[in-house]
Structure 1
Amino acid sequence: MSEMVGELLTLIIMAFALGMDAFSVGLGMGMYKLRLRKIFNIGLTIGLFHVWMPLLGLIAGKFLSEKFGVFATIIGGLLLIVLGVQMIWSTMKKEEAKVITPVGFGLLLFALSVSLDSFSVGLTLGIYGAKTIMVLLCFGIAATVQTWAGLLLGRKVQGWLGTYSEALGGTILLGFGLKLLAQIW
């Protein structure tokens, strides 16, 4: 029993740590003018990605080497950099058209970018034989709640900063993408 409690506590801490990127990126993305319903949907989407990405990682962890985890981190970092640069660039231009927004395909890119690291962790957990249901519940719930918190806080900050909020949000995304890539080298 104490072994299961220890594993659950470890998974909760790990889920919280992985959810911090969803919070940070949600903080930046929350600076878009988003309705509460959209914030709710974004949080659920990211939570779902934090369920199926580690599930894929758990399954693949039995078959793939650790080098694939580095590849996933590179892809995630590059996606965040593209999102961040796009947000910064859109504040410099007068027109309102955005290449990537947290709607449709942009939301899927956003969710994918913040959940790729959970795929990498899933690879490792798959190698060590972690309990799949506990991993998925912890990761999904933590990512959903932390995304909502980041988006709601970003929404508040957006109101305070006016037109510069999107540039700040883009800077946060860009910085987080660079941080992911810097961890590799």
Structure 2
Amino acid sequence: MNILSSLLVALGLSMDNFAVTVASGCCHREKVPFSYIFKVSICFTLAHFIMFSAGWFCGAEAARYIGAVDHWIAFLILVFIGVRMIKEAFSSSDEESACSFHSLKTLLALSVATSLDALLVGMGMAFASSVFWPTVCMLSLCVFVTSWAGFYLGAWLGHKFGKLMEGLGGLALVSIGVKLLLEGLGI
């Protein structure tokens, strides 16, 4: 596998991540500190790195168990958080949304939901005898950059358009969850 192939795999795996960070960034209507966006980006990057590496080293046995339920896990997490965002967008409160990344539990849940594909791709890449380090490094770089850019873009949209963007962000999370479920079910 060459560098271009590694880049394409990395970009493909980071697209759901980008959409989720844009949607979640929309919860913020105030300027988000640099350190906070860095923390979010690192969390998503580590989740992808760990999942891809675990997939690479675990092999087919784990694929049989994880592959059967990964789409359901991602669906439930994304729909739950998306519905909370939509509900918050329609509330009369002007406070910062409870569904934003301020909760470590929410951040970790979204990180896991968006990185489940990396587990299965890691398994597939191991069976294809692809090189590990260039691929996982490219993946980590792409996830970090897309998380940073997505969250920053979402926060800018949230600041500019307020609750409308928070509602649309929640709808995007629900849509991503449904898409992942349908793909996992073969529909």
Fold match (TM-score > 0.5): yes
Please, which runs of 5 or more residues in structure 2 have no aligned partner? none
Alignment partner of 1:37 out of 35, 38, 49: 35
**Distance in 1 between the 2:162 and 2:63 partners?**
46
CA deviation after TM superposition for structure 1 residue 137, in Å: 0.6
**Distance in 1 between the 2:175 and 2:33 partners?**
25
Residue type of the partner of 2:52? Answer: P
- Scaled by the length of structure 2, the TM-score of the pair is 0.87
CA deviation after TM superposition for structure 1 residue 102, in Å: 1.3
Tell me the equivalent position of 2:119.
Answer: 119
CA deviation after TM superposition for structure 1 residue 140, in Å: 0.9
CA deviation after TM superposition for structure 1 residue 138, in Å: 1.3
CA deviation after TM superposition for structure 1 residue 61, in Å: 2.1
- Scaled by the length of structure 1, the TM-score of the pair is 0.87
Whether 1:83 and 2:109 are equivalent positions in the alignment is no
Whether 1:73 and 2:68 are equivalent positions in the alignment is no
Runs of 4+ that moved beyond 6 A: none
**Distance in 2 between the 1:126 and 1:64 partners?**
13
> Any conservation in 2 of the 1:69–1:123 contact (CA below 8 Å)?
no
Residue type of the partner of 2:37? Answer: I
Tell me the equivalent position of 2:4.
Answer: 9
**Distance in 2 between the 1:64 and 1:48 partners?**
20
| Aligned-CA RMSD value | 1.9
Name whichever of 58-67 and 113-122 sits farther off.
58-67
**Percent same amino acid at aligned positions?**
26
Please, which runs of 5 or more residues in structure 1 have no aligned partner? 1-5
> Any conservation in 2 of the 1:28–1:172 contact (CA below 8 Å)?
yes
> Any conservation in 2 of the 1:31–1:169 contact (CA below 8 Å)?
yes
> Any conservation in 2 of the 1:73–1:120 contact (CA below 8 Å)?
no
CA deviation after TM superposition for structure 1 residue 124, in Å: 1.3
Tell me the equivalent position of 1:141.
Answer: 141
CA deviation after TM superposition for structure 1 residue 75, in Å: 1.2
